[in-house]
Structure 1
């Protein structure tokens, strides 16, 4: 599936290049980006217990350099000894830069929607955590190899999307509210240090990585607790923009941006209703109002025709297969191959992975993978590839810093048995759920 997905994008890119060189004929604009996700390899310590980020150069964040799980950017040098695909060389041939936005599905390299990127030499902008972890939203830019399964990232950006106190919880509807934003969950939501929605307590400050859906709604991909004094963050679609007052709305939150800095390719003169933004503030002085210190475009996506793009997100503004949006980007999927469900199930609120090529600002998709349909079950897959560290038992060890429990009786062991688990042993761990920060393994494979 990945091969077809990226080849379609390259075909469109070649057509665009031929046209720019004077080639005749007309292009129908059919093309695609990767059906796999972009991923980036992160270096690990020798015991596989610590995940660190590669060197940061630039980025759009105006925060200070340093390391903090609550705010600011983390910048640490890659030690080059991780298990990412770049270690030892992969024979990458540059096929043109691609952009992918989604949630991290695995580490070693990082895996986003199934595609792995080596980031040994990438610039990494990691703003609200000490290390890349499963479930974090991320944007990756880089080239892919001839097999369209691995790549080399040039830039990896990740930041939290929401931070503040929980004000309401809907256990039946599967959602909660933070600063006027309704946060929905699904089977792929990673619970870093809580056991799930039922364990959330109103008033608790949490940090959420997620995918903006309809205005005022964020689909959570990772949830973890924060200290009460943590600086607020809000992400969503701009509504009710008032240029005279210098305010706009994100769901039920009014944002005052008059004294804020702008980043990510937008400024007060280009800000419009419908733009997806991430807002930072020092504090929230009163409920319902946030005085912004920074407003930035949320993971800005290149707009040039011929750019391969791959997105994971929730469908909005659905009219037909040739007219809907994901993460604010217009999609034409009329010629796309659809997997993971029936085409008739595609509509507003459905989470998908979509890949294609930009044509005059529209993502012309060649493949869609349905990842979650409201009211229907889905089985996500998280992957860790690396060496075991901090081994205590089959119920407690780490791979790239991620705690793993492989003690369940139905765990499948490949090329070995549970008795082979030990520090330094190279494994690939697959699981479908992260609860209380623990990946519950369904399969462990031994070997490189």
Structure 2
């Protein structure tokens, strides 16, 4: 399936269509606290977009999606994604209706049918600071919860000799990328990738930059072989694939993942991200998804371009009709707890470590053991946090 190269326009007609019909109230259903994973109101299916916060299958926005038979495609062009889904990657999921958790601390479940995934930026590291790093002229912000993998497992191990592929969310007000997953390598990739708002656009010279005028990216060029949108200019958000020489090969407009995944009406929806276009509290866009929040309950801070949001609602005519909009802070994101289900292996009682899904976890006297004795081959559920590049188990229980 190919992504549609259009820039959605929020018209009066589509807004009115999106408001037709009743909107079900959403209820919390476990998986991390109240009002997390609210997609169990009896819709025909579910659509969710956010960060993978656990494995076994994949857990996104508090819902454990079985992805055994799901089709996984690239958000860039609709072709096969071709990589394993990992914690911290940003995905959109089309799936079945959600089944609520059966216990107060359980996890809601559903079955994924189609998943889209893709990184935002890829290229060389040019500088590193205490809480961020720079690549191709732009800034990547890092939180405690940001997952690093590869030759560096934390920001402190990153250097200017490294190349990175970064998943996360672009803040259009600053041009920064809030990183959720960083894959670090010593090998230069065959292509670089950036996304952001176009500035310094020159059709004559076939050059442009991304980001803000205060902090623009390195200059990017294109030629007659480059795939470009039919209409683009300064102020337009684009995703760019380029050579290491910064010659663009593909320039794509930001499109809604709802179209890429063929999401249906009447589905329950939950999305996490940043407001990418803002007209009013009732009319805005999050990562390409149009939102009608005219009847939504808004909790937290004020809404504006670039604000981080978590939205629950239902889908109607490709519009998310919101019932609730929340604005979590970076500190809330930094304290994120991850959840893993699987079979324990490589237990080292002396070092107090074990392996699950290829990841090494540490445990200690502060880890809550929920009536379980650790042993290789045991099915476990692990709640964990990130600490200095390591996975630290906070709670371990049986997953039989």
TM-score range, shorter chain: 0.7 to 0.9
Aligned counterpart, 2:104: none
Aligned counterpart, 2:392: 440
TM superposition shift of 1:428: 0.5
Aligned counterpart, 1:255: 220
Post-superposition CA distance 1:181-223 (Å, at most 9, x none): 2211223311225353343323422221111221632110012
TM-score normalised by length of structure 2:
0.74
Unaligned runs of 5+ in 1: 1-15, 21-25, 39-91
TM superposition shift of 1:410: 0.8
Post-superposition CA distance 1:382-417 (Å, at most 9, x none): 1101111233336322212222112x221101122x
Aligned counterpart, 1:292: 248
Post-superposition CA distance 1:54-102 (Å, at most 9, x none): xxxxxxxxxxxxxxxxxxxxxxxxxxxxxxxxxxxxxx99943543222
CA distance 1:95–1:364, change in 2 (3 Å): closer
CA distance 1:356–1:156, change in 2 (3 Å): same
Contact 2:26 2:312 in 1 (8 A): yes
Aligned counterpart, 2:239: 278
TM superposition shift of 1:140: 1.6
Post-superposition CA distance 1:234-273 (Å, at most 9, x none): 23234145555554432213333435565xxxx6215566
Structural mapping, 1:255-404, within 5 Å = 255-259=220-224, 268-269=229-230, 271=232, 276-283=237-244, 285=245, 290-296=246-252, 300-302=256-258, 306=266, 308-316=268-276, 321-337=281-297, 343-344=300-301, 347=304, 349-359=306-316, 362-373=319-330, 378-393=334-349, 395-404=352-361
3-state SS in 2 of match to 1:302: helix
CA distance 1:443–1:398, change in 2 (3 Å): same
Which residue among 71, 78, 91 is the counterpart of 1:138? 91
1:421 aligns with 2:397: no
CA distance in 1, matches of 2:234, 2:48: 24
Which residue among 337, 343, 368 is the counterpart of 1:412? 368
CA distance in 2, matches of 1:384, 1:168: 33
Greater mean deviation of Cα atoms: 328-337 or 116-125: 328-337
TM superposition shift of 1:433: 1.4
Which residue among 63, 78, 87 is the counterpart of 1:115? 63
3-state SS in 2 of match to 1:253: coil
CA distance in 2, matches of 1:29, 1:93: 12
TM superposition shift of 1:441: 0.9
Greater mean deviation of Cα atoms: 315-324 or 158-167: 315-324
CA distance in 2, matches of 1:301, 1:120: 21
1:188 aligns with 2:149: no
Aligned counterpart, 2:11: none
Contact 1:128 1:160 in 2 (8 A): no
Aligned counterpart, 1:200: 158
TM superposition shift of 1:307: 5.5
CA distance in 1, matches of 2:240, 2:26: 29
CA distance in 2, matches of 1:218, 1:37: 30
Contact 2:295 2:323 in 1 (8 A): yes
CA distance in 2, matches of 1:435, 1:37: 28
CA distance in 2, matches of 1:201, 1:399: 28
Contact 2:43 2:266 in 1 (8 A): no
Contact 2:343 2:378 in 1 (8 A): yes
3-state SS in 2 of match to 1:367: strand
3-state SS in 1 of match to 2:382: strand
Contact 2:166 2:183 in 1 (8 A): yes
Contact 1:98 1:307 in 2 (8 A): yes
CA distance in 1, matches of 2:70, 2:333: 36
Aligned counterpart, 2:4: none
3-state SS in 1 of match to 2:301: helix
CA distance in 1, matches of 2:165, 2:22: 40
Contact 2:30 2:100 in 1 (8 A): no
1:166 aligns with 2:125: yes
Aligned counterpart, 2:178: 219
CA distance 1:378–1:137, change in 2 (3 Å): closer
